[in-house]
Structure 1
Amino acid sequence: MTDAVRLESLHKTYDETVTALAGVTATFATGTFTAVMGPSGSGKSTLLQCAAGLDRPTGGRVFIGGTEVTATNDTAMTKFRRQRVGFIFQDYNLLPSLTVEQNVVLPLKLARRKVDRRRCRDVLAQLGLGDKLDARPEKLSGGQRQRVAVARALVARPAVIFADEPTGALDLRSAQEVLALLRAVVHQHGGTVVMVTHDPMAAAYADSVLFLADGRLAGELRAPTADAVAERLAHLGDLVGAQR
Structure 2
Amino acid sequence: MFGQERPAAGEASAEALRLEGVRRIYGAEGNRVAALDGVSLSLPAGSFTAVMGPSGSGKSTLLQCAAGLDRPTEGRVFVDGAELTGGGEAALTRFRRQRVGFVFQQFNLLPTLNVMENAVLPLKLAGRRVDKAAVRAVLERVGLGDRLDRLPAELSGGQQQRVAIARALVTRPRVVFADEPTGALDTRSARAVLELLRESVRTSGQTVVMVTHDPVAASFADSVLYLADGRIVGYQTSPTAETVAERMTRLADEVERQRTAAGV
TM range (shorter): over 0.9
2: CA distance between counterparts of 1:84 and 1:116? 18
CA distance in 2, matches of 1:56, 1:137: 32
Residue number in structure 1 paired with 2:246: 231
1:49 and 2:49 equivalent?
no
Pairwise CA RMSD of aligned residues?
1.4
- 1:162-214 C-alpha deviation (Å, 9 max, x unpaired): 00000001001100000001111111221110000000000000000000011
Deviations 1:208-227, CA, capped at 9 Å, x for gaps: 00000111111100000111
Q: Which residue of 2 aligns with 1:15?
A: 27
The match for 2:48 is 33
- When residues 151 and 168 of structure 1 are mapped into structure 2, their CA distance, relative to the original with a 3 A threshold, is same
Give 1:181's aligned residue: 196
Deviation by residue 1:66-122 (Cα, 9 ceiling, x = unmatched):
111134432211101001100001001111111111111111111101111001111
Distance 1:72 1:3 in 2: 23
Structure 1 unmatched ranges of 5 or more:
none
Q: Partner amino acid for 1:29? A: P
Distance (Å, rounded) in 1 between the aligned partners of 2:139 and 2:21: 38
SS at structure 1 position matched to 2:204:
coil
In our comparison, the structure showing a higher alpha carbon Rg is: 2
Aligned to 1:135: 150
- Give, in angstroms, the shift of residue 13 of structure 1: 1.4
Q: Which moved more, 1:121-130 or 1:145-154?
A: 121-130
Residue 234 of structure 1 deviates from its aligned partner by 1.3
1:2 paired residue number: 14
Structure 2 residue 165 is matched with structure 1 residue 153? no
Q: 2:85 and 2:105 mapped to 1: Cα distance?
A: 25
Is residue 77 of structure 2 the alignment partner of residue 62 of structure 1? yes
The list of structure 1 runs, each at least 4 consecutive aligned residues, that deviate by more than 3 angstroms after superposition, is 237-241
Q: Structure 1 counterpart of 2:95, which letter? A: F
Task: Supply the AA of the counterpart residue of 1:163.
Answer: A
Paired residue type of 2:203 = Q
Aligned AA (1:134): D
**Aligned residue number for residue 136 of structure 2:** 121
CA offsets 1:101-153 (integer angstroms, 9 cap, x no match): 11111111111011110011111111111111111111110000000000001
Query: Could you say which residue in structure 1 is the equivalent of 2:3?
Result: none
Distance 2:56 2:123 in 1: 33
What amino acid maps onto 1:207 in structure 2?
A: D
SS in 2 for 1:188: helix
TM-score by length of 2: 0.88
**1:70 aligns to what SS in structure 2?**
coil
TM-fit CA distance, 1:235: 1.8
| Letter aligned with residue 116 of structure 2 | E
The alignment partner of 1:235 has SS state of: helix
Indicate the SS of the match to 2:120.
helix
One-letter amino acid of the counterpart of residue 217, structure 1? I
CA distance in 1, matches of 2:165, 2:73: 30
Question: Is 1:194–2:206 an aligned residue pair?
Answer: no
* 1-structure distance, mates of 2:55, 2:119: 31
Q: Which amino acid counterpart does residue 175 of structure 1 have in structure 2?
A: A
**Matched-pair identity in %:** 62
Q: Does 2:156 match 1:144?
A: no
For structure 2, the 5+ residue unaligned runs are 1-12, 259-264
